[in-house]
A and B are shown apart, each in its own frame.
Chain A
Amino acid sequence: MDAQQIGKGKFVVPIGPQHPALKEPGHFEFTVDGEIVTGASVRLGYVHRGIEKGAENRNYTQAMYLMERVCGICSHVHATAFALGTEKLAGITAPPRAQAIRSLVGELERIHSHLLWLGVAAHEGGFDTLFMYSWRDREVVMDLLEGLTGNRVNYSVNVIGGVKVDVDDAQRDAILKGVDFLEERTHHYIKIITTDETLLGRTVGVGVMTKEQAIELGAIGPTGRASGLERDVRVDAPYAGYKDFPVRLVTDEAGDLQARFVVRMKELLESYRLIREILDHLPTGDLTVRAPRRIPAGETVSRVEAPRGELFYYIKSNGTDMPERVKIRTPSLCNWASVINLAPGYKLADMPMILSGIDPCFSCNDRLIKVNDRSVSQVWTWEDLRQHGIEYYR
């Protein structure tokens, strides 16, 4: 994987850490022979924050807030995975209405994430009109999320034992109206991505991954499903409200960039259907059950389907109110292998598109804070950071 080793006499193009494809830090080295990429390597960790370690010194409620901040785009799925895992360890189950609301917010989050991706991917392809339109439409779902939870990001819907937001009739009507508008827009986007000459030129046959490769490289989520890999945790191991509101799997056989566009757009349509279904049959009853502060000793795994693919949590409790170990495996990490292995053979100019094709999320992968202070690099402790924050905002 090391680009340097590929061969002398070839050119190594370093890309990043500043915004290689997205406005996030990651460092890539591409070995090129003329215009054609012959090797690729990746270096992550520029935004590693030590969240797994941090969770070991916080109680479950505090850790939940921390988990929600693993990622600013898909914060809800992290909290859901952590809450479901902790509930399993505690031997409690959240009420049906709470489970349905978890899925409802999960799908709204997926819509916002996929629309965000559509904009970024279009922008990398040089199609900024599509970027502007899709982000304009994304505001609709952001407003719905804000109306429902009070926040545009980090919705903080989950508590251990249930959820803290309810859906009233006015919110229900607003969501249904928003979804109708977005569905119409999504059909329009599907038409664009399948017919626009310029976009087709940049996506059809680019970054092709066969199903066999997808299995071997461990691709997951829409990236894997665009190569015909039938894997979706919502279908394979339904959690939260997905037991009562089943999801239809969306796959595509082509395995190229265009298929990744198509799969994500079709998943949006499936999310709209699911949201209507949930709102039409929202179970009545309580929103929470009482959860113990100390969680009995044990270990569990919790899997949920984030917008980028399967999100995996391993939680070990030791009988106290703080977890012994929390391991998070985010979907972006799995999909890097596909980029590194698929890049060779394509043009350098295709790299931003291939990179953004997996919908990479850097804060997902990187979870240590390092601050350059007067050119002396130092590592800050939690207390230093807290103090810095207090001073900074004073």
Chain B
Amino acid sequence: MDTATALQKAEEILQPLAQEFKHPEADRVDVILAVENLKAAVKRLVEERLGYLVAITGLDVPAKPAAEGETPQGSVDVMYHFAEGAAIITLRVNVPYDAAVVPTVCDVLPAATLYERELIEMLGVTVEGTPVTDHLILPEDWPDGVYPLRKSFTGLKPQGA
């Protein structure tokens, strides 16, 4: 399957679920999804055997200085990159800090467990239903609620200080 066909096919099968399609580069399509449609979209791609999950990227989007009368709310972008040949299909959801929850995709793609564990500890996104939530890369005594890949994280205070 060539790149254009793969991207087109992805748009066709994800049309009913997507909010918006973006084409940032010739070999990429970004599919903006509501969180509730994420799992259905992943299932569709797996059923159609379109691409394989390359990685799950978490991106911290810190709160912008708020306009008057608004409370600033940061959020996290979660991206699921699927590759088919040279084509990259990225499923994107955005979850606010106070409801940073995405459903697990491990029941459809068992290999996603390591990526989901990384997402949980590094960015503080709760992955509902994921089989293992233990630390994968951070130490056992790492403090709760500290997420290193959030922009607000600038280092831990040395113990005893």
Contact = CB atoms under 8 A, between A and B. Distances in A.
A297 B118 CA distance: 26
Contact of B113 (A216, A327, A337, A365): A337
A329 B54 contact: yes
B52 A2 contact: no
Contacts, number: 105
B135 interface: yes
A3 to B, nearest CB: 11
B54 A88 contact: no
Given A312-B81, A378-B158, A334 B111 contact: yes
B160 interface: yes
A58 to B, nearest CB: 14
Which size class do B's interface residues fall under?
35 or more
Interface in A305-319: 310, 312, 314, 316
A237 B86 contact: yes
Interface stretch (A43-51, A199-207, A266-274): A43-51
B132 A2 contact: yes
A43 B114 CA distance: 10
Contact of B25 (A45, A88, A231, A329): A88
B139 A45 contact: yes
A217 B79 contact: no
Contacts of A379: 155-156, 158-159
A313 B135 CA distance: 23
A125 to B, nearest CB: 27
Contacts of A1: 113, 131-132
Contacts of B159: 376-379
Contact of B24 (A217, A299, A325): A299
B111 A217 contact: yes
B136 interface: yes
Interface of B: 24-25, 27-28, 52-55, 57-60, 79, 81, 83, 85-86, 88, 90, 109-115, 131-132, 134-139, 141, 148-149, 151, 153, 155-156, 158-160
Contacts of B148: 50, 53, 368
Interface residues of A, number: 46
B114 A333 contact: yes
A131 interface: no
B23 to A, nearest CB: 13
B114 A314 contact: no
A138 interface: no
The A contact surface, by secondary structure, is mixed
A45 B27 contact: no
Given A378-B159, A380-B158, 19 more contacts: A2-B134, A44-B137, A45-B138, A45-B139, A215-B52, A217-B111, A237-B83, A237-B85, A298-B24, A301-B88, A303-B83, A310-B54, A312-B54, A314-B55, A327-B55, A327-B58, A337-B110, A365-B137, A377-B141
A247 to B, nearest CB: 14
23 contacts: A1-B132, A45-B136, A53-B149, A56-B151, A216-B111, A218-B52, A218-B53, A236-B85, A301-B81, A303-B83, A312-B54, A325-B59, A327-B58, A329-B115, A337-B110, A341-B110, A365-B137, A368-B138, A368-B139, A379-B155, A379-B158, A380-B158, A382-B155
Interface string A20-45: 00000000000000000000000111
Contacts of B85: 236-237
A333 B112 CA distance: 11
Interface centre among B111, B115, B151 (most CB of A within 10 A): B111
